[in-house]
Amino acid sequence: MTQFHHIPVLLNECLDGLNIRPDGVYLDGTLGGGGHSARILERLTTGHLYGIDRDREAIEAASERIRGLGLSDRFTAVRGNFHDARALLADLGVTRLNGALLDLGVSSHQLDEGERGFSYQGDFPLDMRMDKSQALTARDIVNSYSQNELCRILTLYGEEKWAMQIARVICDRRKLMPVETTAQLVDIIDAAIPKRVRARDGSHPARRTFQALRIAVNDELEPLERALRDLADMLVPGGRLCVIAFHSLEDRIVKNTFKSLADPCTCPKDFPVCVCGKHPKVKLVGKPVTASEEELESNPRARSAVLRVAEGIQW
């Protein structure tokens, strides 16, 4: 079986945020290599953890890891997307949770496994599917979408200032031959962005384009708010929802959704009492948490991680 390398980000902060009860029911909605899950399971006695991932390799690797720790009696792995967590768990008879964790974005293993096509390092097929059974790939988008649609994706999901130029060069190059590999795409980006403005923020010039294509391929953002609301609905009073985001687009959705769940009232501010009937479903717990310098030394990929925590309340 493929080795699934996974360093859990903000691990202790997530464990603290979840405020784990030994008899509780928990969800790791982005199972990955099982790093977070293993530590959650160590704190359970009669409780149970459900782990969801769309990547078959992640399910296999995490399950093997948890079996090796002797914790599989309190663990159930589910193949699917956390966007559908409410329905997936309902099929298993689970309607309430003491806590849920989401570690958004691409995993370290998926980045490091070159043939998955997530990384702009190396020369590999332009894939970017988190679920390899899915039909749509980054190659399909790059070679078939219109220049305007490519520009929209790069602007919306990558916040790429040079989106129009990159889209134009993609369309010019694919007239000569299909864009098949990550190296070809990096070369296109290199040709589209003027050398004098590259990497002013210290990042690779291809980072935003690869991020945008990955989000588009895996439909990462559109269902996120609904998924957060579903999970908030499932929390028991005192149950915690912990979400790690890695870029501003994700974090903005998490921040705004949590804020709306904590303060849904639509009454004018000058009304003496609420008459809209919309009550808070959660309260915000603490301030957003980022990685310590110590963690960044051992895991630089935690640099952009932001953890937010919300707690279910009773009405």
State the pLDDT at residue 112.
Answer: 66
- In which domain, by residue range, is 129 found? 112-218
pLDDT at 111 over 90: no
Tell whether 53 and 81 lie within a shared domain: yes
Tell whether 287 and 146 lie within a shared domain: no
Tell whether 226 and 98 lie within a shared domain: yes
The mean pLDDT of 50-79, rounded to a whole number, is: 95
**Paired sense of beta strands 289-290 and 306-312, if any:** antiparallel
169, 200, 218 — which closes off a domain?
A: 218
Tell whether 130 and 267 lie within a shared domain: no
In a domain, 2, yes or no: no
Cβ atoms 174, 145 nearer than 8 A:
no
Q: How many domains does the chain have?
A: 2
Name the band, by pLDDT with cuts 50, 70 and 90, for residue 1. Answer: very low
Cβ atoms 205, 195 nearer than 8 A:
no
Q: For the chain, what percent of residues have pLDDT higher than 90?
A: 78
Tell whether 125 and 94 lie within a shared domain: no
In a domain, 1, yes or no: no
Tell whether 42 and 94 lie within a shared domain: yes
> Which residues neighbour 200 within 8 Å (Cβ) at sequence distance 6 or greater?
none
* 278: Cα within 13 Å, side-chain hemisphere: 10
For residue range 262-292, what is the model confidence (pLDDT) as tens digits?
A: 998 888 888 887 877 788 999 999 999 999 9
In a domain, 18, yes or no: yes
> Which residues neighbour 47 within 8 Å (Cβ) at sequence distance 6 or greater?
20, 21, 22, 23, 24, 25, 26, 74, 98
In a domain, 22, yes or no: yes
Tell whether 68 and 163 lie within a shared domain: no
Tell whether 244 and 184 lie within a shared domain: no
Closest CA to 228 of 129, 97, 136: 97
State the pLDDT at residue 128.
Answer: 95
In a domain, 177, yes or no: yes
Closest CA to 29 of 292, 282, 275, 230: 230
In a domain, 141, yes or no: yes
Tell whether 125 and 263 lie within a shared domain: no
Closest CA to 31 of 83, 82, 67: 82
The mean pLDDT of 17-46, rounded to a whole number, is: 96
- Residue 125 is classified by DSSP as B
What's the whole-number average pLDDT of the chain?
92
Name the band, by pLDDT with cuts 50, 70 and 90, for residue 2. Answer: very low
- Report the CATH number at residue 184: 1.10.150.170
Tell whether 164 and 147 lie within a shared domain: yes
In a domain, 131, yes or no: yes
In a domain, 152, yes or no: yes
The mean pLDDT of 52-61, rounded to a whole number, is: 93
- Report the CATH number at residue 72: 3.40.50.150
pLDDT at 194 over 70: yes
Cβ atoms 49, 39 nearer than 8 A:
no
The mean pLDDT of 150-156, rounded to a whole number, is: 98
Tell whether 166 and 291 lie within a shared domain: no
pLDDT at 78 over 60: yes
Tell whether 120 and 208 lie within a shared domain: yes
154, 185, 218 — which closes off a domain?
A: 218
State the pLDDT at residue 197.
Answer: 74
pLDDT at 21 over 90: yes
218, 252, 280 — which closes off a domain?
A: 218
